[in-house]
Structure 1
Amino acid sequence: MIGKMQNTLAVILAGGRGSRLEPLTRDRAKPAVPFGGLYRIIDFVLSNCLNSGMRQLLLLTQYKAQSLDRHINLGWRPYFCRELGEFIDVVPPQQRIDDQWYQGTADAVYQNIYAIERERPDYVVVLAGDHIYKMNYESMVDFHIQTKADLTIGALQVDRESAKQFGVMQINEDNRVIGFQEKPEHPQTMPGDDQHCLASMGIYVFSARFLFEELCRDATLSGSRHDFGNDIIPSVIGDHRVFAFPFRDENRKRDAYWRDVGTLDAYFEANMDLITVDPQLNLYDNDWPIRTYQPNMPPPKFVFGSEGDMDRRGEALDSIVCQGSICSGGHVRRSILSPGVRVNSYADVEDSIVFEGVEVGRRAKIRRAIIDKGVVIPPETTIGHDVEADRARGFMITDSGIVVIARGEHIDGGGAFRHEIRNLSANE
């Protein structure tokens, strides 16, 4: 590993609560939530780092980090060699500076400033660990160096309504940032385009010395929220070289792909896109592979097919079926089956996301549902076919009518359910 990327450290913020994704985040951090059957959300930013030649990574965790830590140990540490100066370190809150949880994104980095300084980087790339996209960070670091920037911000065009959830930038003809508002009620649109705004992706490249100085300055301000978007960026654009770097999508489709799967409905839609004939997110691209932990399991299996009993035929149509799954005489359509799922005879699973180790009983019928890890659906159970009946039984229903069943929910034969108190395994 030589050149500029050897002197670049990635700091990945992976400590968010993910409250809008509950109950999927009841036992795990948002970056550890499964995605696309085989992956975790964190795998996308980590794959971007590896594909960009970045091999010095600090992963800052905070809430419910055990599952995430285990995933990194199992699936990611083999890619890094300490003897060559490579590492991926999971760093829980150290409380070396004070005894509080992280107060904001800048405070999370500031509280780990000793760990960052110890590596003596020239550049620090700050990333969020909970977005789905493909990006070459090396190109952004190149741009940062060429423009002699103090700070470079990843920039994405979004529609005016969506811009209310982002930091919104204004730039000059040289891509220098001349204005910034965090989550404005009335976002300023781009020149010549009154429908779109230039939004911050929460991806930053800092010159290391500049970052240290600004973090220390911000830490002394009593009125600061200690956040990059709310505090640090607005305070530096007037006196320092701050530039916007247009998002260059390595997904190589017609439209740029970047998703914040921060709500259950957004999460469901992003997963369901993967099963279309030509999905917007290409997981089958050998030039930009998405890596993850691959459990040692047998291949998927489809059994009981006969002309005499067409209803008892193991099949999956327009679906993703991961290793270890068995369709034992059941039907799966437009769904994602994670590793180790079993769909028993005459069961129907449609338009659903089924997490690892779920068992769907005989003649059960499931539609438009997210079922978390290890849940057992009893025979004859119906889920998602009558939303009001599901709500009356205590199931969680999203705004768009998706039924969500959390890990640890016990469903009895009559369809009612309760939360089962048990010892959770480390691999959530």
Structure 2
Amino acid sequence: MKNIMGLINLHESHDLLREITRYRPVAAIPFAGRYRLIDFVLSNFINSGITNVGILSAGNSRSLMDHIRSGKEWDLARKRDGLFLLPSLQSGTVQGAFPDDLADFFSNLDYIRSSRQPYVLLAGSRAVCNINFQDVFKLHLEKQADITVLYKEYTAAAVKRLAGATMLETDQAGRIIDMEICPVNPRSNKLSLEMYLLDRQLLVDLIDSSMSRGGTNIARDCFMKNLKELKIYGYPFTGYLARVDSVQNYFNQSMELLRPEKWQELFFANGSIYTKVKDEAPAKYQHDSNVRNSLVANGSVIAGKVENSILFRGVRVHKDARVINSIIMQKGEIGPGVVLENVICDKDVKISAGRKLKGELNHPIVIEKGTVI
């Protein structure tokens, strides 16, 4: 896989994630106790032998840059190839089903042209999975495809719960014959993972051609509009997938990781998932604590009751507090006697003693970063 470069496109819509993306891009959303969404695609790249990775930034990426730093945790701090942060021409949050990302690709064509690898694997960050791309590359060569797109099949009922999705339709040979971006009533049950493998020079030509014709979105103007002219094939992914496209999906997919078999498949199926190391002490459980079926990250101190919940690094749950079916992000503090149920607390949230907050499983309460209640 030394002949493939990785490109991570951070132009991902924030429309249904506003409460937790006000101060960060989608790629920097905390997930599963210790991780950010971008950790999964970076880990998949390095586990597949891809060591030249460019990240096309978008909007306010300060928190993301602080997280990935030099890329050392993913073995991407290298003298040759390694991690490259590609600047964006835009500011503000990314909105809409067709984000204007093509101009940023065009402004960074020099990086794509000068790379040594003849192939490019383009991916976003909101498709959370553990995959080795070697089989994808084999299929790409066997089919003599121009572009290979990864997808996952869903049931008809599950498709209705997807928001802002790109759906694919394939023929019997696996060739993609139709693509729908953000359909109201999808005609297919094949969800695109928004991961594309193609020849590097072809990507350069598509970007240049689309820009010269007024294109603005790479998926629509480079891939979707060339379905008939190019041989575009699908690769069926059958492993565990968590797609973070709305607050409700973020909550549901997080809670699903409390099932041991789902956790094992996501974090160990095709290699380990790496993240920023903080060298904190292990979680501390005080004498009166009661913790059941929960993920508790290092640096946390638990004196109350935690059930069916996910606690990130440095969280403190005081005595007589109860946290049920909730997500508490980094350095959250839950005061004495507090009761939280079906709640998402962003980073640095403090809940004062005696407060009670209860959401619904299908509509959790979201408390924004740094809020004191």
TM (normalized to structure 2)?
0.89
Question: Letter of the aligned partner of 2:176 in structure 1?
Answer: V
Structure 2 matches for 1:72-111, cutoff 5 A?
A: 72-73=68-69, 76=72, 79-83=75-79, 85-93=80-88, 104-111=100-107
For the residues of structure 2 that align with 1:65 and 1:8, how far apart are their CA atoms?
25
**Native 8 Å contact 1:318 1:335 kept in 2:** yes
Counterpart of 1:326 in structure 2 is: 301
**Native 8 Å contact 1:168 1:187 kept in 2:** yes
Structure 2 matches for 1:213-228, cutoff 5 A?
A: 213-222=205-214, 224-228=215-219
Counterpart of 1:133 in structure 2 is: 129
For the residues of structure 2 that align with 1:377 and 1:47, how far apart are their CA atoms?
34
Counterpart of 1:212 in structure 2 is: 204
Question: Letter of the aligned partner of 1:221 in structure 2?
Answer: R
In the alignment, structure 2 segments of 5+ residues that lack a partner are 91-97
Question: Letter of the aligned partner of 2:281 in structure 1?
Answer: P
The verdict on how the C-alpha distance between 1:166 and 1:369 changes in structure 2, with shifts beyond 3 A counting, is: closer
Counterpart of 2:369 in structure 1 is: 407
Question: Letter of the aligned partner of 2:362 in structure 1?
Answer: S
For the residues of structure 2 that align with 1:279 and 1:187, how far apart are their CA atoms?
27
For the residues of structure 1 that align with 2:137 and 2:267, how far apart are their CA atoms?
27
SS of corresponding position for 1:168: strand
**Native 8 Å contact 1:48 1:136 kept in 2:** yes
The verdict on how the C-alpha distance between 1:167 and 1:22 changes in structure 2, with shifts beyond 3 A counting, is: closer
Per-residue displacement from partner, 1:15-40 (whole Å, max 9, x unpaired)?
43523222211111111011011111
**Native 8 Å contact 2:164 2:245 kept in 1:** no
For the residues of structure 1 that align with 2:7 and 2:191, how far apart are their CA atoms?
21
Counterpart of 1:175 in structure 2 is: 174
Q: 2:251 aligns with which of 268, 273, 281?
A: 268
The verdict on how the C-alpha distance between 1:15 and 1:286 changes in structure 2, with shifts beyond 3 A counting, is: same
Question: Letter of the aligned partner of 2:336 in structure 1?
Answer: R
Q: 1:293 aligns with which of 276, 283, 300?
A: 276
**Native 8 Å contact 1:358 1:371 kept in 2:** yes
CA drift at 1:123: 0.5
CA drift at 1:323: 0.7
**Native 8 Å contact 1:75 1:292 kept in 2:** no
The verdict on how the C-alpha distance between 1:286 and 1:149 changes in structure 2, with shifts beyond 3 A counting, is: closer
CA drift at 1:283: 4.8
For the residues of structure 1 that align with 2:230 and 2:129, how far apart are their CA atoms?
29
Counterpart of 1:9 in structure 2 is: 5
Structure 2 matches for 1:5-44, cutoff 5 A?
A: 5-16=1-12, 18-44=14-40
Question: Letter of the aligned partner of 2:329 in structure 1?
Answer: F
The verdict on how the C-alpha distance between 1:286 and 1:133 changes in structure 2, with shifts beyond 3 A counting, is: closer
Choose between structure 1 and 2 for higher RCO, CA contacts under 8 A separated by at least 6 residues.
2
Question: Letter of the aligned partner of 1:182 in structure 2?
Answer: I
Matched, 1:315 2:314: no
SS of corresponding position for 2:372: strand
SS of corresponding position for 1:20: coil
* RMSD (Å) for aligned C-alpha atoms: 2.4
CA drift at 1:321: 0.9
Counterpart of 1:339 in structure 2 is: 313
SS of corresponding position for 1:152: strand
Per-residue displacement from partner, 1:140-199 (whole Å, max 9, x unpaired)?
12221222221111122134444784333333332222333333445434xxxxxxx333
SS of corresponding position for 1:82: coil
Counterpart of 1:244 in structure 2 is: 234
SS of corresponding position for 1:169: strand
**Native 8 Å contact 2:344 2:367 kept in 1:** yes
Q: After the TM superposition, which of the residue ranges 173-182 and 142-151 deviates more from structure 2?
A: 173-182
CA drift at 1:286: 7.3
Question: Letter of the aligned partner of 2:88 in structure 1?
Answer: P
Question: Letter of the aligned partner of 1:258 in structure 2?
Answer: L
The verdict on how the C-alpha distance between 1:356 and 1:180 changes in structure 2, with shifts beyond 3 A counting, is: closer
Counterpart of 1:358 in structure 2 is: 332
**Native 8 Å contact 1:352 1:370 kept in 2:** yes
SS of corresponding position for 2:148: strand
Counterpart of 2:94 in structure 1 is: none
TM (normalized to structure 1)?
0.78
For the residues of structure 2 that align with 1:103 and 1:331, how far apart are their CA atoms?
43
**Native 8 Å contact 2:70 2:76 kept in 1:** no
